[in-house]
Amino acid sequence: MKNKQMKKPLIYLLLLIIHLGAMAQTKSYKRGVGYGYHSETDMQQFSSFLSWWYNWAAQPDVAIRNTYQNFGVDFTPMAWNAQGITAVNTWVTSDENIKYILGFNEPNFKDQANMTPTQAVAAWENLQNIAANNGLELVAPAVNYCGSCVQENGTTYTNPFTYLDDFFEACTGCQIDYLALHWYGGGASMPGYIDDARKYGKKIWVTEFAAWDNSVTNAAAQYQYLAGTVNFLERDPDIYRYAWFIGRTSAGINTYPYIDLYADDGELTPLGELYHDIPVYDSMQRFTVPGRIEVEEYYRMKGLFSEITSDTDGFLNIGWTDAGDWADYKITVQNSGMHTLKARVSGTSSGTINFLVDNQQLATLNTPSTGGWQSWRTVNVQLNLEPGEHLLRMYVKKAGFNINWMELVEGEVSASEFKWLKASIFPNPVADRIIHVYLPTNEFGSIYRCSLTNELGQLVFADWVKATSTNLQINLNSLYPLPPGIYFLDVVGKTCRAREKLIIK
């Protein structure tokens, strides 16, 4: 990861499910699962979001072998190794629904298909003949980094791309329509792995993935990984299809590595609900201006990654920013003139964003240090827009920030419309569980959004509080016992806000 650690937002699970449930959702052609024990109830219920599945075999799962066609979910047979080719031929010649054949399963692993590049190439001709006879496309052998690996001509194939290099070199002229990759690295590791595979110039199937390393210490970490990784895979134009590993394990969702999508028959786990609800990528999507842009819903992107946000609204925020990263958004501007771009940002240091419209830089926004990766602040910049369809680019000039959303409104927002105030907090350090906040403003009786974050930027408290005179009284009883330390209190009103340090003894 770069710039920050992954957050573990268990306390936001309910709000997230409500948010996603309200979003328009269509079925993604890419989204699938690796699993071999579906029931008819499973397939009936999960067909609303699954477009395909495979089970490492030539035939569909026993319980749905003769009925899966009724559910609108593609089955993709696999020749697990050379011995599986005959079974694939038998099935595809009898099932007219088949479109693709998956090649060998992790051939560079001794405990999987266990095939050298030369052996894989020798067997590939038979798969080619099956594909040609049935009008099917072929997916290359699925590779990953391995421990106990096959060897050939002095090369140990620990690196999957070394294996593919030699496979492609020996298989000149072969029919290989797609790549296949497996990946079990956590955090924001998937994009770099995919970048390494782009050199082959082929669309990619990620046919196994989950976080299965020391980044996963609980179910929330796997939840966070799935959200960011699936959003990336869904929106990357080089990803053709992907399949989560796995549907169910014998140990269940509450046991490491917390990967189960399915609970009881026909039911989803919370992780499965999230997999169901990740927004489907639409390359034709345009954001209307004036309006809000959820930044994770980019059209194209370089170098960025998403995570579940603990801001007061939104689903994912973008982070892992490095200088030179960017994200593009298709926009339709209603009216010409000056617009204000509001950006919801956070970070432990300052950053800089250049905003370009149709490759012309129109504005630069400096993002402040907010004290934490999930301590959020709204900052503004003005830019002049012409009506019509445009491409807006968010370009990272200086890294050091997360961003949750952008909002473009017509006209200018002056400093007088949104003021930073100096608040007084007492008692501070906090001796009891009720604190008083004094704001130098005349917004008597107004409602303020009050939130408390720790030094890691994790939200520990949020509530709406009505001002009495110029005083806010905030009751922290529900938080105790609260670990002692330094916290940050944000108070946001209609036209003003304040941020102050709070010490808990």
Q: What is the pLDDT of residues 475-502, one digit of tens each?
A: 887 777 788 888 888 887 766 778 888 8
Q: Quick one: pLDDT at residue 249?
A: 98
Query: How much is the average pLDDT of 173-193?
Result: 98
Is CATH 2.60.40.3080 the right assignment for the domain spanning 419-504? yes
Measured CA to CA in angstroms, residue 467 lies from 442, 449, 462, 499 at distances of: 10, 11, 15, 16
Pairing of strands 151-152, 137-143: unpaired
Q: With contact defined as beta carbons under 8 Å apart, do 332 and 326 qualify?
A: no
Cβ contacts of residue 1 below 8 Å, gap of 6+? Answer: 187, 188, 320
Q: What is the pLDDT of residues 281-336, one digit of tens each?
A: 999 999 999 999 999 999 999 999 999 999 988 899 999 999 999 999 999 999 99
Q: Quick one: pLDDT at residue 318?
A: 98
**319's tokens:** 């982070």
Q: Quick one: pLDDT at residue 470?
A: 65
Using CA atoms, how far apart are residues 42 and 60, in angstroms rounded to an integer? 14
Give 287-413's CATH code, choosing from 3.10.20.340, 3.40.120.10, 2.60.40.1180, 2.60.120.260.
2.60.120.260
Q: With contact defined as beta carbons under 8 Å apart, do 8 and 219 qualify?
A: no
464 compared with 137, residue with greater pLDDT: 137
Fold match between 287-413 and 419-504? Answer: no
Query: How much is the average pLDDT of 123-140?
Result: 98
Q: How many CB atoms lie within 10 A of CB 478?
A: 9
- In the predicted model, is pLDDT for residue 338 greater than 80? yes
| One-letter identity of residue 463 | D
Q: With contact defined as beta carbons under 8 Å apart, do 391 and 385 qualify?
A: no
- For 41-99, the three-class secondary structure string (H helix, E strand, C coil) is HHHHHHCCCCCEEECCCCCCCHHHCCCHHHHCCEECCECCCHHHHHHHHHHHCCCCCCC
Q: Quick one: pLDDT at residue 13?
A: 45
- In the predicted model, is pLDDT for residue 451 greater than 60? yes
Q: Would you state the CATH architecture of domain 51-277? A: Alpha-Beta Barrel (3.20)
| Domain map (residue ranges) of the chain | 51-277, 287-413, 419-504
Q: What is the CA radius of gyration of the chain?
A: 26
- Give the least confident one: 126-135, 152-161, 403-412, 436-445: 436-445
Q: Distance between the two ends of the chain, CA-based, in angstroms?
A: 33
Using CA atoms, how far apart are residues 103 and 171, in angstroms rounded to an integer? 14
Q: Provide φ and ψ at 170, rounded to 5°.
A: -85, -15
- Give the least confident one: 109-113, 165-169, 249-253, 419-423: 419-423
Query: How much is the average pLDDT of 22-46?
Result: 88
Q: Which residues pair with 213 in a beta bridge?
A: none
**451's tokens:** 């939130």
